[in-house]
Chains A and B, each alone.
Chain A
Amino acid sequence: MSSERAQPKQPRIPLHLSMDDPEPMYRQIESQLRDFILSGQLEPGTRLPSMRALAKDLLCSVITTRRAYEDLEGEGFIRTRQGMGTVVAEIPEETMAAYRREAVDGAMGEAVRAGRRAGLTEEELRDILEETLQREVANVHQGGTP
């Protein structure tokens, strides 16, 4: 953009839409932004691109980006102020914790289902969990990546 009227630069958020994903585009935007916010990669107060600018970057329509922003605003992750644009909201620690916990629950559930598919018993699954815990804890103590 060679224009002098260019908007002040905003952080480019690495969002990505996939047409192979059965989730509709606005849901993909929502979940990716939610993840960035919950993981702290987008801090409270960070300005988000306008709906039009985001639509242009993602090659989707403003109808889609508006849907995503409205949902995220409804869930309290972002807020829009007249003339101020859209920023990441301050999120209560309990909410953050609940979401983190939910992510772990999901991963655990997936691991258990994988075990069932492999024909493992409850006993064997418990053993694996125990072994994994010990191994990972040892890893952390040695300064390795958890």
Chain B
Amino acid sequence: MTGTAVLSLKDVKKSYGNFELGPVDLEIEAGYVVAVVGPNGGGKSTLMGMLMNLIQPDSGELKLFGGTYPDDEVAIKRRVGYLPERPVGHDEMSAESLGEFFSRFYPKWDHRLYEDLLKRARIEPAKRFGELSTGVQRCLAFALALATGSELLLLDEPTAGVDPFGRREILEDISRFMECGDKTVVFATHVMEEVRRIADYVLFLADGEFLGLFEKDTLLEEWRIFWVDREPEGDVPGVVDVEVGSPARIVCDSLQETGQALFAQDVRIVRSGVLDLEEVLSHLMRQKQGREQSVSGRRSRV
């Protein structure tokens, strides 16, 4: 992989009262869809807000397209389409005037795409944002973000409250946006099905802790549940969790290594199963809780 990172965070921290986010260390290169996942209050929107300079980190270095806030704010933001968790100041404006307002700021504004998206979501251009239902407001905010013609989309729960049909359309639009290979999407979501459908990487956040940035397929391929005829002895590589019983149940995060170690001990695998992403997340959360405080975050590179 070559080229500079679209997004880079080094040791980024933010705290409010009792809540502390970070340290977050990560780099994301162009061409990928990154899902930001974790329980409510985990820090997803805080992270998104920092990427848009709506919230300033207490410490650390945050770069978009190699530039920093506040020096390069205008240049950065012209290249970013943002869908906030709660759009501010939209209520009194019609879809049409919102489009016009946005088009002035974004040199690559795609009006045809905007009209097309409105038509598909059945939004009348003259209707005021505040008159629309929550789901339709989401679709409109998504249309605004996509039509900016940006290279990077930051989408904070783009499908919250959107009906299944609209949700599908949004996912289709995201993958069409990604088609040419040099665009990037970072989206926060609670819906694992969306992660499964369109994400390349998964960024886990829980209680402000950055649990890591993972290749989605690696998680799905490497994490396994093994039911075995007896418990293995000693430290078996890759084992994350063992439930005693007959058969005993083992959760591991590296299929080959654990499988070979079990084989070497003559432990028979009675059955094996795949974990879904929710289960992986809950194991990662437990692992993190169990670990020493001294671990100062994790550095990942995409």
Residue numbers of A with Cβ under 8 A of B are 1-5, 7, 19-20, 22, 24-25, 50-53, 55-56, 59-64
Contacts and interface: CB of A to CB of B under 8 A. Distances in A.
Interface stretch (B124-132, B150-158, B192-200): B192-200
The prevalent SS among residues of A at the interface is loop
Contact of B216 (A51, A53, A61): A61
Given A19-B220, A59-B197, A53 B215 contact: no
Contacts of A52: 175, 178-179, 181
A23 to B, nearest CB: 10
Contacts of B113: 5
Contacts of B172: 1, 3
B221 A24 contact: yes
A61 B179 contact: no
B217 interface: yes
A61 B120 contact: no
Interface of B: 31-33, 113, 116, 120, 172, 175-176, 178-179, 181, 196-201, 215-217, 220-221, 255, 274
Which of B33, B116, B197, B217: most chain A Cβ within 10 A?
Answer: B217
A19 B272 CA distance: 11
A5 B176 contact: yes
Contacts of A63: 32, 200, 215, 217
Contacts of A1: 172
20 contacts: A1-B172, A3-B116, A4-B116, A5-B113, A5-B116, A7-B179, A24-B221, A25-B217, A25-B220, A51-B181, A52-B179, A53-B175, A55-B200, A59-B197, A60-B216, A62-B32, A62-B200, A63-B32, A63-B215, A64-B217
A55 B31 CA distance: 13
A61 B215 contact: yes
A51 B199 CA distance: 13
Contacts of A19: 220-221, 274
Contacts of A4: 116
A60 B197 contact: no
A61 B199 contact: yes
A4 B116 CA distance: 8
B163 to A, nearest CB: 15
Nearest to A2: B120
A22 B33 CA distance: 26
Interface centre among A5, A51, A53, A55 (most CB of B within 10 A): A55
Nearest to A19: B274
Given A19-B221, A25-B217, 15 more contacts: A1-B172, A2-B120, A3-B116, A3-B172, A5-B116, A19-B220, A19-B274, A52-B175, A52-B179, A52-B181, A53-B175, A56-B175, A59-B196, A62-B178, A63-B217
B200 to A, nearest CB: 4
Contacts of B200: 55, 61-63
Contacts of A53: 175, 179
Nearest to A24: B221
